[in-house]
Structure 1
Amino acid sequence: METNLNHIPGGYLTLSPNFKILSVNQTLLRFIHYDTEQLIGQSIRSILSKSAQAFFQFAFYPLIIQNKRVDEMFLELISHTGEEIPVLMYATKENGIITCMFVPNKKRNEYENQLLEAKRIAEERLVEKEKSNADLKKVLLNLEEKQNEIVKMGKENDKYKTDTQRELKLAKKIQETTLTEAINNKDLQIESYYRASNELSGDIYGFYQINKDQYGIILLDVMGHGISSSLITMSLVTLFQQLISKGLPSEQIMKALDDKMHSLFENEEDAWHYCTAIYIFIDIKKQTIEYINAGHPPAIYLDSKGGQRELKTQGPPIGTFKDNQFRNSVFSYTKGARILLYTDGVSEPLEQDRLSLLLKQHVSTPLHVFKEKLLKTLQDEGNDYDKSDDQCFILIDLK
């Protein structure tokens, strides 16, 4: 760290392409009460709040990839003592290195002080009003009327809640009928797992045998959870079923899904959503794997000898930028290889390194047995994880 950067008024750090901390100045260390050796080599996620971690992946990442800079992004850092520190972040990317500046967001504290002062004034005025018996009677009468209205609304809400739960259960059954069943033949085996955080999920997947030699596998994660995200998945599932089953090129499939996302919100910017996606095309005869990763957590490929490679993202998520060009990657596979695809509801509680290690440790374990092992690990080691995210993964054995 250059001396002239160590004591500038704002926090400063640099990140590697995989978001590991390379350097950090003294100003930022004072903000968050860390020592240099505690942060160097760590993921930036270790000093971000839970909400900031999600925002970092789905907002910061596509912006820094596409624009190579981010201006005035609000985040919350977590200090070594657990304190949340609101900051404005500015970032640039050059030669693969990401440089970040953090400025404390004092405005937020000012607004909180203003709210406290407004509350104090309101309480003083309430005391003054209570001195007047006439005014007090009016307040009590009005309060009683409001209470009666609340009771009435409560009954209506209970009925609405019951009706809504019934409708959600039906919608969940409909959503689950779109999920494809396991495949097991002489060429490959595919197993999957799907758990919605609410009644409905923003995760969706499908795997299809296009012909005797070719298969298409897709996994999508729509931003957010619940009804809005699930409606988007239902609008996409019919489209990708048709496109994949026809054996269309991977770039054409992803472009069609991207166009669909943009068309859904063309005149509704306030309702805008996007989704991460990964599509894998397997040719058994040629023994090749072709894939496109649009902002999705990297799938893990494990060959029969234990060698691994990550099917990393090649661009921003679907629905972020119009006229986005999708690029595919192709490599040859060896028989006996295994692939793990997953959403962030799986990688968040376990971390990607843990998933890679599990895959490697069970390279010879039958696929259905490994699936149960992965589920048990998620349950045992993810107990402290916020279960507000959908969870989904796909396992593929290439025989």
Structure 2
Amino acid sequence: MALDHRRPFDSRIISTGRFIPQPSRFRPMRTRMGLLSHKKQADALDEVEQKMHDHEMAIAREIQENLLPKQLPKIEGYDLGAYYRPSLDVGGDYYDFLQIDSENLGIVVADVSGKGIPGAIVMTMARSLLRMEGMRNPSAADTLMKVNRYLTPDIKRGMFVTVMYVVLNTVKRTLLVTSAGHNPMVLWRKATNTCHLVNPNGLALGIDRGPLFDKTIKEQKIQLHQGDRFVLYTDGVVESMNNKQEQLGSHRMYLLVKQYAEKGSNEFSNLIATVLENHKGEAPQHDDITMVTVRILPPGMSTPSTPVVPSVRV
């Protein structure tokens, strides 16, 4: 029988001479191969995106860690301590010390809302502006007003920076405290063994360029006494969460400050860090944890200058 070249592939002839299409045996195979090809492409794209994300996080982490102090200041009559633990997500915490003049030391603890490279860039800008303004201005409130005025026009809408900024007069033993939407400072008084919250709350940097920010910013002056301690920290401390979704909480934080207040500042920081780690357990850490503390010593007494080494990332 001669081969009929006009007969369509995958069809059969019925008595009327018409061709009836038959389901192709190869079509399911072609479909499976197509789906497999699309899956491989999607997997390859996911891998590229993950590598790009990891690279971005590595850059942001390097920027962030390079901005942190390598050593704590050594000041007669004061015992300084700091603790910093970065998160996996590369949050926006940073802290700094500004030597304004022979008497005044600025202390900054801040938290940038963004993560990754955008957050690291805003952090760099905020740090540079705070150093530029703070190192020539002993007024904490005036410094933040000027920083906000310069920073706000240059950052993306929706991003902001919360800051607790204090100026310690090491001779008069006074503290000027101002906050741009940040967690309150904890002040422990040795004479009464009590904790007090110092919260001259204002707007975060970057939300309003001028009039409203300037109107809400406050500066509170505190007289310090021998044995007192104050603690600045970010929300990663009080919002540290365990596998049961339970936060450490502000109240427990204040109890810990009271419990360990008379320890040396380095030991104090390590004890708080141990409690945080035990509370977190196996739960992932999604936010940076930053804390700076100062204890008031007898005049003329000081502690050795301590290097600052970020703890192991979890």
TM over 0.5: yes
1:178 aligns with 2:67: yes
Residue 189 of structure 1 deviates from its aligned partner by 2.5
* Residue 220 in structure 1 maps to residue 110 in structure 2: yes
2:183 counterpart residue number: 297
Alignment partners' CA distance in 1, 2:30 and 2:230: 67
Instruction: Return closer, same or farther for 1:246/1:298 CA change in 2, 3 Å cut-off.
Output: same
Alpha carbons 1:301, 1:338 under 8 Å: kept: yes
Q: Tell me, yes or no, if the aligned pair for 1:198 and 1:225 is still in contact at 8 Å.
A: no
Cα pair distance change 1:147/1:243, threshold 3 Å:
farther
Opposite residue 206 of structure 2, the aligned amino acid is: G
Where does residue 239 of structure 2 map in the other structure? 348
Q: Retained in 2: the 8 A contact 1:183–1:189?
A: no
**Contact 1:296–1:343 (CA<8 Å) still a contact in 2?**
yes
Alignment check: 8 A CA contact 2:80 2:266 kept:
no
Query: Aligned pair 1:317/2:204, yes or no?
Result: yes
Deviation of 1:291 (Å): 0.9
Shift of 1:179: 0.8
Q: Name the structure 2 match of 1:100.
A: none
Which residue matches 2:274?
376
Q: Deviations over 1:44-78 (max 9, x none)?
A: xxxxxxxxxxxxxxxxxxxxxxxxxxxxxxxxxxx
Whether contact under 8 Å (2:177, 2:200) holds in the other structure is: no
Q: 1:140-289 maps to which residues of 2 (within 5 A)?
A: 141=30, 144-155=33-44, 157-159=46-48, 161-162=50-51, 164-166=53-55, 168-180=57-69, 181-198=71-88, 200-265=90-155, 269=157, 272-289=158-175
1:318 counterpart letter in structure 2: L
Confirm or deny that 1:329 pairs with 2:227.
no
1:235 maps to amino acid: M
CA distance, structure 2, for counterparts of residue 390 and residue 375 of structure 1: 12
Match of 1:9 in 2: none
Q: Residue 206 of structure 1: CA displacement? A: 0.6
Q: CA deviation at 1:224?
A: 4.4
Residues 262 and 141 (structure 1), Cα distance of their counterparts in 2 relative to 1, 3 Å cut: farther
Letter in 2 for 1:370: F
Q: 1:262 to 1:359 in 2, by over 3 A?
A: same
- Write the distance in 2 (CA, Å) between the matches of 1:340 and 1:394: 6
Q: Does structure 1 retain, via aligned residues, the 8 Å contact 2:162–2:204?
A: yes
Asked if the contact 2:188/2:230 (under 8 Å) is kept, the reply is yes
Quote the Cα distance in structure 1 between the aligned partners of 2:76 and 2:24: 83
Distance verdict in 2 for CA 1:282–1:341, change over 3 Å: same
Percent of aligned positions with the same letter in both sequences?
Answer: 20
Name the amino acid aligned to 1:286: K
Structure-2 separation of matches of 1:214 and 1:342 = 21
Partner Cα distance (1:158, 1:310) in 2: 48
Is the CA contact (8 Å cut-off) linking 2:78 and 2:295 kept in structure 1? yes
- Report the Cα distance in structure 1 between the residues aligned to 2:190 and 2:32, rounded to whole angstroms: 72
Task: Verify the 8 A CA contact 1:183 1:191 in the aligned structure 2.
Answer: no
1:344 alignment partner AA? D
SS of aligned partner of 2:239: helix
CA distance in 1, matches of 2:173, 2:261: 19
Other structure's SS at 2:207 match: coil
Equivalenced residue count is: 264
- 1:364 equivalent to 2:283? Answer no
- Cα 1:289–1:221 shift into 2, 3 Å: same
Aligned letter for 1:336? G
| C-alpha distance in structure 2 between counterparts of 1:387 and 1:166, whole Å | 20
Q: Which amino acid is 1:190 matched to?
A: L
Q: Structure 1: where are the runs of 5+ without partners?
A: 1-131
User: Residue 156 of structure 1: CA displacement?
Assistant: 5.2
- Which deviations, in whole Å up to 9, do the C-alpha atoms of 1:210-237 show, x marking residues without a partner? 2221100111112243333222212211
Question: Shift of residue 277 of structure 1?
Answer: 1.1
Deviation at 1:142, TM superposition (A): 5.5
Judge which range, 256-265 or 308-317, deviates more: 256-265
Q: Residue 397 of structure 1: CA displacement? A: 1.7
Conservation of the 8 A alpha-carbon contact between 2:56 and 2:116: no
Larger Rg: 2
Q: Which has the higher contact order (CA 8 A, sep 6+)?
A: 2
